[in-house]
Amino acid sequence: LYYSNPQLRNLKMIVAYEGTNYSGFQRQQNGLLTIQGVLEEGISKFSGETVRVIGAGRTDAGVHAQGQVVNFGLKNRLPLDQIQRAVNHFLPRDILVKSITEVDPDFHARRSARSKTYSYRIYNSKIRPLFERNFVYHYQYQLDPKPMETALTLLLVKHDFKSFQAAGSPVKTTIRTIHHCKIISIPPEIKIFINADGFLYHMVRNIVGTLLLVGSDRITLDKFTRIFEGATRTAAGPTAPAQGLCLEEVIY
């Protein structure tokens, strides 16, 4: 790893961003605006060094973060609070470094992560949202959060999430463990939290899409269980849109 270079400090940053105007976290070749690209540029502008940041989660276009974690190697020896201030100065208003610490050379934002927590906000109202509009999925048909909560709890038991991964995703295993999950319902909002040791591609958004079928009484809890156990993507609900999703925290 390049940051095992003894000249480099391995720096860990907690980063928050509004994903609305970005083509996702991961840097792309096509010149599209990405969180990773803008972060690397901000760090370079302040330090004069070329850096490559490693992100804990590759959030999609439109997905937000309260607690994305990145790490990168840096020669610069300035105190960490000065680095944080300088990097924030060079970042746009929709990306923010919340904290910065120096970590062991073997710390890797993605591989060292033990679990991650995502949240998904549903705005359940006939009237569209205003101030929350970029951070919620506006769902007009009335939802009952009770069966949604029961369905969510069922995911704590079984561990194969094949029915909730995006079709055709190339992964070795579809076994994941959800450690914690909860639903907080403060009308008109329903907010879902899922903490797991790992997430398949579109897993949270596919779970939410299927929970919406349960909450609007279009499938039963039995059917939900069968979809889950059947482990086939086609039976599950549609993928909920990106803008309701937020990477809340990464735990090491």
| Residues with catalytic roles | 60
DSSP state at residue 175: B
CB of 177 to a second copy, least distance (A): 30
Does 80 sit near a second copy (CB under 8 A)?
A: no
Rounded distance between C-alpha atoms, residue 120 and residue 216, angstroms: 17
Structure tokens of 180?
Answer: 């914690």
Does 248 sit near a second copy (CB under 8 A)?
A: no
CB of 96 to a second copy, least distance (A): 4
Rounded distance between C-alpha atoms, residue 124 and residue 215, angstroms: 11
Tell me how crowded residue 103 is: count the other CB atoms within 10 A of its CB: 16
DSSP state at residue 207: H
Question: Among 109, 106, 74, which Cα is nearest to 4's?
Answer: 106
CB nearer to a second copy: give 130 or 157: 130
The window from 25-33, 43-51, 125-133, 203-211 that contacts a second copy (CB under 8 A) reads 125-133
Burial class (CB in 10 A: 0-12, 13-18, 19+), 19: buried
CB of 56 to a second copy, least distance (A): 18
What angle in degrees, to the nearest 10, is found between the helix axes of 221-230 and 203-215? 150
Rounded distance between C-alpha atoms, residue 145 and residue 217, angstroms: 11
Q: Which of 30, 50, 93, 157 binds a second copy (CB under 8 A)?
A: 93
Inter-residue contact 228 to 163 (CB < 8 Å): yes
The window from 2-10, 86-94, 190-198, 215-223 that contacts a second copy (CB under 8 A) reads 86-94
CB nearer to a second copy: give 3 or 17: 17
Q: Which of 21, 44, 61, 94 binds a second copy (CB under 8 A)?
A: 94
Does 96 sit near a second copy (CB under 8 A)?
A: yes
**What is the x/- site pattern for a second copy, positions 32-71, by CB under 8 A?**
----------------------------------------
Residue type, position 31, single letter: G
Residue numbers of the site for a second copy (CB under 8 A)?
16-18, 84, 88, 93-96, 98, 127-128, 130-131, 133, 135
